[in-house]
A and B are shown apart, each in its own frame.
Chain A
């Protein structure tokens, strides 16, 4: 646990500051936005603090994805399921022989789409999908719901079209972030998320579609960051 505390206190934030610095130096979108308007926490141009502390609503990125590619090149296509293979096993029991119905991590050996769900599945089964998709699955099947941030209840995985899987509700009952790959910062616009490990398209301080209200605290049980209302 001592390791967790060190990373929580120093590493996570240091990684975020490094991503901000690198994005300002190499990604056209952030260069323009923060140079001409500014940002806070960290401030990159002395005296310019910008609107919403530099947070960017997801709607502002419409049509701008090529500008999120660093000068050295890279992909301009976001992965809406980024982080699923890490967050899903944290939030539900997933073994190699688990049959996942619906949305499965890329390298999971056993998975079927919703349309070809067997009538009487045998063994350990888990259904993963949005609320509408899960409506067609039998009530006896254990399930993990993919929910947008603004519509979260008490269980499921937090997903966003741009940012992918941001976190999920674990056995402690808290909404855990995909720590340390996702950084969250409190801004006047709500929580702004940063993908610390994704080089391209670079996503820094993005407020998901629909807004994201909440605060970041440390989970008393797991000692990692969680979102509370």
Chain B
């Protein structure tokens, strides 16, 4: 197989990209301008690789080149060339989804062999290992003899195809959660001060305000050693402008303040509920809005005939009580031989 490697920061969009995205079912975060904005705002070089069999694209991989020197507090240099490190395959802008797509007839070993060799050729002999995130147990078993497999945080999914209508979904939940949700619906319905704005492919979103809101989350979840890198407003602007992105803003009508914000990336069968950020309770935030937001996503998915809705990692108790099921995930690391 032949490999084409792109740096979305400077390389123009390949002419086959739109077709490939449609074939592979890659969501809006794989749109080229979104990838470019994401790569500019990252701490490590982000590389897109397309593997071809003849002229047919058979696989797409997004990876970060985690090479030394790597800095905690700066974006990656425009011309920096790390010399030793590992290739970290993850979804663009989110670690909760796999960072690759393979055609049905391509096994996962294409990544650990063909792709790994292509990266070794591109990045030099210092490219020592390949790390794949969000691998299932079957996939990990297919990789070669030398490998390290570690379980990572589980991801949660709503089995939307099991529910015929929102009422059927509610009846599956525990009695206390059901009555709690009905209470939340009533509270939101009766709260005239709360404006809920759902926009699809918007260019009018005040992304500066949303970025400011995202900082609350960054400070809450960011580690001390490796803090979260600030999201560029250019990235959010490019993402919400995609025609298959739904963004929901919860706004206080009296003051015009943003209380909470969430995005969902559409897909023919498995949309993803992507980011959620809300004001801390001390600043007028309301915890129940998270449940409300997820419930509305379920209702929307049922109405549009989706099969699943992916929710990503974290908040296990809340997601479980809303009827989501977990799937085990692992990280797989394989060495790349330097010759």
Contact = CB atoms under 8 A, between A and B. Distances in A.
Interface of A: 24-26, 28, 31-32, 35-36, 44-46, 63-64, 66-67, 70-72
B78 to A, nearest CB: 6
B227 to A, nearest CB: 8
Interface in B1-23: 9-10
Contacts of B230: 28, 67, 71
Contacts of A66: 212, 215
Nearest to B39: A35
Contacts of B10: 45-46
B73 A36 contact: no
Interface string B54-91: 00000000000000000011110110000000000000
A54 B178 CA distance: 55
B40 A26 contact: no
A45 to B, nearest CB: 6
B37 interface: yes
Contact of A67 (B72, B73, B74, B233): B233
A197 B9 CA distance: 30
B208 A36 contact: no
B232 A31 contact: yes
Contacts of A46: 10
Interface in B199-214: 208, 211-212
Top 6 closest pairs, chain A to chain B, by CB: A72-B73, A35-B40, A32-B234, A25-B74, A71-B73, A32-B232
B11 to A, nearest CB: 12
Contacts, number: 53
B294 interface: no
A31 B229 contact: no
Contact of B74 (A32, A35, A63, A71): A71
Q: Among A31, A63, A71, which residue has the most Cβ atoms of chain B within 10 A? A: A71
B41 interface: yes
B75 A44 contact: no
Contacts of A32: 37, 40-41, 232-234
A26 B75 CA distance: 6
A109 B314 CA distance: 56
A26 B208 contact: no
16 contacts: A24-B78, A26-B73, A28-B232, A31-B75, A36-B37, A36-B40, A36-B234, A45-B9, A45-B10, A63-B208, A66-B212, A67-B208, A67-B211, A71-B227, A71-B230, A72-B73
